[in-house]
Homo-oligomer: A and B are copies of this chain.
Amino acid sequence: MPSSKRSTSQDVADLAGVSRTTVSFVLNRLEGVNISESTRERVWEAARKLNYHPNASGRKLASGKSNTLGLVLCQSPEQVFADAFLPRVIVGVEQAAMQDSFHVLLKPVAPDDMTGYARLIRENHVDGIILSGPRQDDVEIIRLHKEGVPIMLMGQLPESEIGFVDVNAIEGAEIAVEHLLETGHQRIGMITNAPLSYTSAQQRRLGYLQALEKRNIAPDLALIKEGNYTPASGYHAMKELLYESPRPSALFIASDVVAAGAMLAAKRAGLRIPQDLAFVGFDDIPMAEFMDPPLSTVRLPAYDLGWAASDRLIRLMRGEGLDQGGVFLESQLVIRESSLAA
């Protein structure tokens, strides 16, 4: 142990017999500066010997860059709890960030403190923000964007210029419902993944409606119930749906987690899946394949979504003028037993 205190670039400079400037040049691999090979090696050697690690705070202050991005989750704690989708997104964000030597600061914000995340950026903790699940009534985000803060949305915000990454949820929902139509179902109900104030809920509902419209089926709004991310909400929504008459013969449920609750309620009511009631979910969480019966669903590229958001945000921060606007990732129908033809 060379010293008990943490060593600085000055220590390295002293040991190598050069100036601090030179140390900075060498260690940051700056090109275009003339430093002899022998000096470079002396510096590296000294740094290694002193176990030198540059202080991030000093670096951030001098460079103005924090090399950190904020991942802001706009969901209530209860919603995060039940979100089996989240871990994959996080890993995707993290790995793309790591590739560019970025760190990830996590910030869940409660709906009642929606401006909380602005401090992250105003106090320069992060260089940019990924906003997952933006709310329509979020005004802060627009203000930040106007100030020139790099922002990437995961999910969309209608009528906004902010760049985003999203799954093609409308289309995803549409193909899910089309699949049900093709297997002969006419009366198809829906349970949303979340309250309709969330864009993602709106979109999936829209896809459902579009699929019906294409077949000239008038939607029965009584067959659309609202979920809120939890299996319990699916359970209750299903019980309500069972009162509808005539009963739907198939359900599109815009979240696998919610679908788990709904399927249980259906089975409890004595219905067989898929013979009496077919199910298609949304998300393809790891457990979907092992539900009883295995749940047909729309696979969202969760990892890719996180990865793309992270990657695009970093490019944006670097000023690489990527075509603003959004990027859509393809979702994919996965057919399992819960929707097999009767």
Judge whether A80 and B84 touch: CB under 8 Å: no
Categorize the interface residue count of chain A: 35 or more
8 sampled A-B residue pairs with Cβ under 8 A: A51-B122, A55-B123, A57-B124, A61-B61, A86-B86, A86-B87, A231-B287, A287-B287
Interface 1/0s, chain A 282-310, versus B by CB < 8 A?
00001101111010000000010000000
Q: Contact between B103 and A125 (Cβ–Cβ < 8 Å)?
A: yes
Q: Does A108 contact B (CB under 8 A)?
A: yes
**A55 contacts across to B, CB distance below 8 A:** 61, 123-124
Partner of A292, one of B53, B103, B287, B292: B292
Residues of chain B lying within 8 A (CB to CB) of residue A290: 231-232, 234-235, 260-261, 263-264
Is A184 interfacial (CB 8 A cutoff)? no
A residues contacting B by CB (< 8 A) are 6, 51, 53-58, 60-61, 66, 68, 71, 77, 80-84, 86-88, 90-91, 94-95, 103-108, 119-120, 122-125, 230-232, 234-235, 257, 260-261, 263-264, 267, 286-287, 289-292, 294, 303
Contact in complex: A264, B286 (CB < 8 Å): no
Contact assessment for A260 and B291 in the assembled complex, using a CB-CB cutoff below 8 Å: yes
